[in-house]
Structure 1
Amino acid sequence: MTSPRPTTGTSLREQLWSPVQNSTLWLGWWLHGLLSADEVIDAFTEVQGPAHALSIDAASGDPFDGEYSGRPTSLVDLLRAVRTVTADAPVAVSARPLVGLVLAGPGDVPALPAGTRGAAAVTASGAGIIVADEDPGVLHVLVPQLVDRSLVLWTWYRTEGQPPAPILTSPGDADRMLTEATVQAASMIEDLGLPPIMHRAPRLMVGELSDYFGLPGLPAGVSPRASKLMARADVVASVIEVTRTSAAGASLDPQLLPLTRAVRTARTTAVDHAMRELLR
């Protein structure tokens, strides 16, 4: 099976925060009947953008027999497709959540079957939404791409095979990883000695970026533990971003890149925990 060729690189900011994190939770809340279709559509347009289209990657297998091919599609089609493949998927705390967040970055391969087009697409873009299937050997992944700064094109990939063994990280372990990352990153930024062109204090810049990463909001009822973990990830991501924009930023990549892994782990763990908490 051939893989799609990555089109553009993913910036560090996109690696540290993606609206896909929030969209995954809105989609999950809707699948579990906690939101109306209008509410999830409003959330997607606020989180990702006003216009959406769905494209099925036929080369990886079309589970819809051409239903969404050859005609204009919309966010309503995306929701219908997700509902279709998850209709008979197992729903239990111990089962795979109906939807999940998948991230990729330096040193991190996506939690998808190796060598598949879906895995290659997430590696190129940095983020996607995993959608469960009745068949435990099948996963679907939705990968967004911004087209002409106005349209979010969601490409649907069907993956078959054994995904990498999951690294089971509890929210507590992920939070400890972030705490250690926060201490390291904060220490680096304090010792940098930012150039005179930066008139604002680093801590103020971190606060402003934290606001950027943290917007827009999450659906009501996300577990406090998951919300706290994502908020901590926002702060660490902001510190990394500020550090890299300093004069010494590029030289600190060997120290900073491992911290980005802690951010990604926190985000995927938080989404997984929030989805499982819905069933308790």
Structure 2
Amino acid sequence: MDMRAEVWSPLQNASVWLAAWLHGLESADDLIDAWRDLGFSASLDVLSQARSGQFTDGEPRVRLVLSGPGEASGLPDGEREAIAVGSEHVLLGDGRWLALPAPLPAPQWLSPGDADALLTRATSEAANLVEASGYRTDALHSPRLTVGTLADFYDTPGLPGATPPRAAQLFARADRVAAIVETVTDRMGDHSLDPHLLSLWRHIRAARMAGVSYAAGEFARV
């Protein structure tokens, strides 16, 4: 199992860049450069499709769709992640632009504060369970000692300058927890903790989706 794919997606930052561009806060060139740095590519034709006709009440709506094992995403062909523009069109990780046969299910619409609180509580609960098992690792309580390089990776190539601080902080929290999970399971090669740590996946994804929705909403206010 690819642990990184479960806790991080380049579509997080890609979707924030797309939302910033749709609202005139970033140039197409900067958007394409950022996407290229993320290993994500889409043609100018796709950008044109995303801009034209994808407005509700005069405002483009962009959100991140992430799902995990056993979760229904509403996406076709078993896809588990996408950038949604409106409720009936998505941009997939391979750059394909698709019209959906039915609108996507409504998201949770968590606020950054709610998402952060859920992620913090889940992390604390996981740490308590791990401690109760008798396992000890600095990755749980001093993550900077072991996951700094991973956190740097997650943040590349960064976010648009207009990204609201609350969204950026939520992404940073999700990156930190994701780095802990990846460090303990993949880098340390210890999978005995998987039942405790894998429960964090859903909260990491929820935080990333909430951050994108919040950023896109704030861009619409500018």
The structure 2 residue matched to 1:35, chosen from 19, 26, 45, is 26
Deviation (angstroms), 1:144: 1.8
Q: CA deviation at 1:202?
A: 6.5
Tell which deviates more after alignment, 264-273 or 174-183: 174-183
CA 1:22/1:272 → structure 2, altered by over 3 Å: closer, same or farther? same
Aligned residue in 2 for 1:278: 219
Q: Which AA in structure 2 matches 1:131?
A: V
Q: Tell me the equivalent position of 2:159.
A: 218
* Aligned mate of 1:77, from 45, 48, 66: 45
- In the alignment, which residue of structure 2 is the partner of 1:166? 107
Please say if 1:89 is aligned against 2:56. Answer: yes
Structure 2: runs of 5+ lacking an equivalent: none
Report deviation, 1:178.
Answer: 1.4
Aligned pairs for 1:123-134 (under 5 A) are: 123=80, 127-132=81-86
Conserved in 2, the CA contact under 8 Å of 1:185 and 1:240? no
2:90 pairs with 1:141? yes
Larger mean Cα displacement after TM superposition, 256-265 or 154-163: 154-163
Letter in 2 for 1:236: V
Q: Which has the larger radius of gyration?
A: 1
In structure 1, the partner of 2:206 is 265
1:185 deviates by 4.3
Three-state SS of the structure 2 residue aligned to 1:35 is coil
Query: Which structure is higher in RCO with an 8 Å CA cutoff and minimum separation 6?
Result: 2
Report how many residues are paired. 214
Listed as ranges, the matches of 1:104-115 within 5 Å are 104-110=67-73, 112=74
Deviations 1:87-129 (A, max 9, x none): x43245xxxx52211101124322x3xxxxx333423xxx211
Q: 2:195 aligns with which of 250, 254, 264?
A: 254
What is the rounded CA distance, in whole Å, between the counterparts of 1:220 and 1:255 in structure 2? 36
**Quick one: which amino acid aligns to residue 101 of structure 2?**
E
Matched to 1:235, the amino acid is: R
Q: Residue 25 of structure 1 aligns with which residue?
A: 16
Q: Matches of 1:91 and 1:12 in 2, distance apart?
A: 39
- Residues 186-218 of structure 1: CA deviation (Å, up to 9, x unaligned): 453895356xxxxxx965222221111122200
Give the TM-score normalised by structure 1.
Answer: 0.69
Q: Matched residues in 2 for 1:186 and 1:212: separation?
A: 24
Q: Letter of the 2:56 partner, please give it.
A: A
Please tell me whether the aligned partners of residues 103 and 122 of structure 1 are also in contact (alpha carbons under 8 angstroms): no
> For the Cα contact (< 8 Å) 1:181–1:236, is it kept in 2?
no
For residue 22 of structure 2, what is the amino acid of its counterpart? L
Q: Secondary structure at the match of 1:128?
A: strand
Q: 2:120 aligns with which of 179, 195, 209?
A: 179
Counterpart of 1:106, as a letter, is P
Residues 32 and 253 of structure 1, relative CA distance in 2, 3 Å threshold: same
> Which residue is 1:100 aligned to?
63
Relative to the length of structure 2, the TM-score reads: 0.85
Hey, what does 1:12 align to over in structure 2?
3
> What secondary structure does 2:88 align onto?
strand
Q: Establish whether residue 236 from structure 1 lines up as the match of residue 177 from structure 2.
A: yes
Q: Aligned partners of 1:202, 1:231: CA distance in 2, in Å?
A: 13
2:19–2:219 CA contact under 8 A, matched in 1: no
Q: Where do 4+ consecutive residues of structure 1 move more than 6 Å?
A: none
Asked if the contact 2:18/2:31 (under 8 Å) is kept, the reply is yes
TM-superposed deviation, 1:23: 0.6
Kindly indicate whether the alpha-carbon contact (under 8 Å) linking 1:171 and 1:229 is maintained by their aligned counterparts in 2. Answer: yes
